[in-house]
Structure 1
């Protein structure tokens, strides 16, 4: 798993690429990026499945913030990104959310 960040010099934006490798996806057919940046809407950010079975998605995030997120696989399994900047407990259960800081 990886998170790549590219800060734009002319805007207060960071292009963040979320990459879920095939091993982390566990053979999933679909993956969605879900988090504070999309108000936890489960299907608004579908990730592109690559030939090797991994998933990837790039989104623009305003800098100076930290965002909680998780991956939703096949609409029934949640995964964290183990290369996230940090983790915090979810207010909706006994799980941790990944956090990306930009």
Structure 2
């Protein structure tokens, strides 16, 4: 799931996944962090989810995916668009 908060000239995006699906650590990787898995790991929350928050320029489109343990890549079913390989978010 994606949550958005509009700021002055940026959009704060929170990437949200269930705490245990998939098992193990998960990071959100994309154009905004040069596909670096260490940049935005999802952190457990008290409500049974895990999240990562990213501030993106407003009025842009960014490709992203999730990377889990054992090199398991997957897309976000709630993304604004899918380009064949990646999820996309429009800010």
Bigger Rg over Cα: 1
TM-score by length of 1: 0.79
In the other structure, the counterpart of 1:98 is 87
In the other structure, the counterpart of 1:5 is 4
Change beyond 3 A, Cα 1:18–1:86: same
Count of equivalent residues:
90
TM-score by length of 2: 0.88
2:50 aligns with one of 42, 51, 55: 55
The Cα offsets for residues 41-77 of structure 1, whole Å up to 9 and x where unpaired, read as 122111102353x321111111010000001011511
